[in-house]
Amino acid sequence: MPLDQTPRDEQLTSSEPELPERRPSPALTLATALLGFALITLDASVVNVALPAMGSSFGGGMSALQWVVDAYTLTFAALMLSTGAFSDRAGASRAYATGIAVFTLASVVCGLAPNLPALIGARVVQGAAAAAVLPASLSLVRQAYTEPAHRARAVAVWAAGGSVAVALGPVAGGALTTLWDWRSIFFVNLPLGAVALLLLLRAPRSQRRPAPLDLPGQVTAVVTLAALTFAVIEGGPTGLVSFAIAVLAGVCFLRIEARQAHPVVPLGLFRSRTVSMAVAVGAANSVAFYGVVFMFSLFFQQVQGRSALHAGLMFLPMTGLIGVTNVLSGKLAGRYGTWLPILAGHGLAVAGLLGLLTVGTGTSASPVALLLVPLALGCALMVPPLTAAMLEAVPAERAGLAAGVLNAARQVAGGLAVAVFGVLLADGFETGLRLSLAISAGLLVLTGALSFRRAGRPASRA
């Protein structure tokens, strides 16, 4: 039965005037999708500034704080590989509603968590729900706008919502933690999630489409990432066992993906040098950006003794420019090609990281806030053309899959950066900070050099 039809409609006589069909507003659907995307993106960055307060509340050490971040990030990344297929099978609107509802309930559980294990467990559920929301929200935008030009503008607005959420995350986390409590960063998701669900009631229902699920591949991917992260964070004999499990699960994953008719990660994608480069650059970008946000959230509070609000405000010059730079990067890519802004982004990001190497425990907060800006500008310059280069290198029917692989790789890299850098910080904050910054700069120098070789060559098709 059509959405706008009621049992009474069937009883209309020919003498009664026929009511015009009421079509949902595309702008309303876009607002619905944007709110959900912003919500799950915000939760990836809002937690960092609240970590010291969580540690004080529960008495947890560095490894526990790392798990609060990585439980969300890595679950999000791993399940993103197959939630696109789930969205198709369930229908985008149903998948979106399920994801938002579960995410909102898990946020409440996070806010009520009596201890760190309960908080970390709820963060895992949040990450799984967020993985369902992201592809479903984009599908809602795609189905609401059928005209290509209108759809492109709508997708740009949708993406900008994520950039704004990233910018607001540290500031919102610092303000809520200082003015109320760290638990408020989760409770605020309750009204936002409710609004998203209410808006969804006015959006059109999505059709279900058959889409194969690669459950063995998905399970082995999750085991590989979880075991590898556990090995890095926990270390010791248990860490060695966990690393062995990660290697075994990783080998199984590769064998499964090579044989599956519909794998979650088609290994053939990586035959394209452009695809491989895009994934490598995206991973290095995330290591630098998310690793620095994690480390300096702790630096401002645990080393310099500043409030969570002050720490959040120190990130505002850095994150506030991301959305504008994303738009500028897209225009540069359209005029000069995708690889020029990628190379420029590498240069800015490396310069920013080298500048941050001069930071010590006695450096005042304002210079540090300014030194964070080149890194943010560089990372923001890279992302839009990187996505465009990735999509140009694959057939149109594999565009969604390729975008999912790129985003998953970026999330995984960010999560592993938090794991590795947290271990380095635990052995001595200032030394660990400089070593972590040097690792980030080294990775970007490597991918920058490879990008320079890639520039000017025709894109190879996967």
What Å distances lie between residue 124 and 73, 182, 273, CA to CA? 8, 18, 34
Q: Specify the DSSP element, H or E, that contains 196.
A: helix 189-200
375: in domain: yes
Q: Could you give the angle at the alpha carbon of 403 between the alpha carbons of 350 and 393, nearest 5°? A: 85
State pLDDT tens for residues 234-261: 777 788 898 899 999 999 999 998 888 7
Say how many C-beta atoms besides its own lie within 10 A of residue 328's C-beta.
16
Residue 178 domain flag? yes
- 105 and 85 share a domain? yes
Query: pLDDT at residue 3 above 60?
Result: no
What pLDDT does residue 348 have? Answer: 94
Judge whether 10 lies within some domain. no
Write out the two tokens for 299: 């630096």
What is the Rg, in whole angstroms, of the alpha carbon atoms belonging to the chain? 22
Q: Is 444 found in the same domain as 367?
A: yes
User: Among the three residues 261, 295, 327, which one is the final residue of a domain in this structure?
Assistant: 261
**Domain termination residue (choose one: 192, 210, 228):** 210
Query: How high is the pLDDT of residue 139?
Result: 79
Alpha-carbon separation of residue 129 from 4, 99, 369 (angstroms)? 30, 5, 33
Is 65 within a domain? yes
The token duo for 36 is: 């959900």
Q: Indicate if 198 and 313 belong to the same structural domain.
A: no
Provide the number of structural domains found in the chain: 3
| Most confident region among 1-15, 39-53, 268-282, 429-443 by mean pLDDT | 429-443
- Rounded Cα distance between 301 and 290, Å, is 17
In a domain, 92, yes or no: yes
Instruction: Tell me the CA distances in angstroms from 343 to 167, 380, 390, 407, 461, one per residue in order.
Output: 23, 12, 15, 20, 21
What is the pLDDT confidence band of residue 20, given thresholds at 50, 70 and 90? very low
Q: What percent of the chain has pLDDT over 90?
A: 26
| 368 shares its domain with 224 | no
Q: What is the mean pLDDT of the chain?
A: 82
Residue 230 is predicted with a pLDDT of 85
Same domain flag for 128 and 203: yes
Are 279 and 393 found together in one domain?
Answer: yes
Domain of 366, in residue numbers = 267-462
Domain end residue (candidates: 190, 210, 230) = 210
Examine the domain organization and report whether 124 and 30 are in the same domain: yes
Q: Which tens digit of pLDDT belongs to each residue from 49-59? A: 888 888 888 87
In a domain, 18, yes or no: no
**pLDDT tens-digit profile of 281-339?**
999 999 999 999 989 988 988 888 888 888 888 888 888 788 788 778 877 877 888 88
pLDDT at 4: 38
Tell me how far apart the terminal alpha carbons of the chain are, to the nearest angstrom. 42
- 106: domain CATH number is 1.20.1250.20
Indicate if 65 and 191 belong to the same structural domain: yes
249 and 179 in one domain?
A: no
Same domain, 240 and 359: no
In a domain, 12, yes or no: no
Does residue 446 fall inside a structural domain?
A: yes
Query: Are the CB atoms for 71 and 196 separated by under 8 Å?
Result: no
| Same domain assignment for residues 196 and 256 | no
Q: What is the mean pLDDT of the segment spanning 89-102?
A: 86
**What number is the average pLDDT over the span 147-153?**
71
Residues 238 and 186 in one domain: no
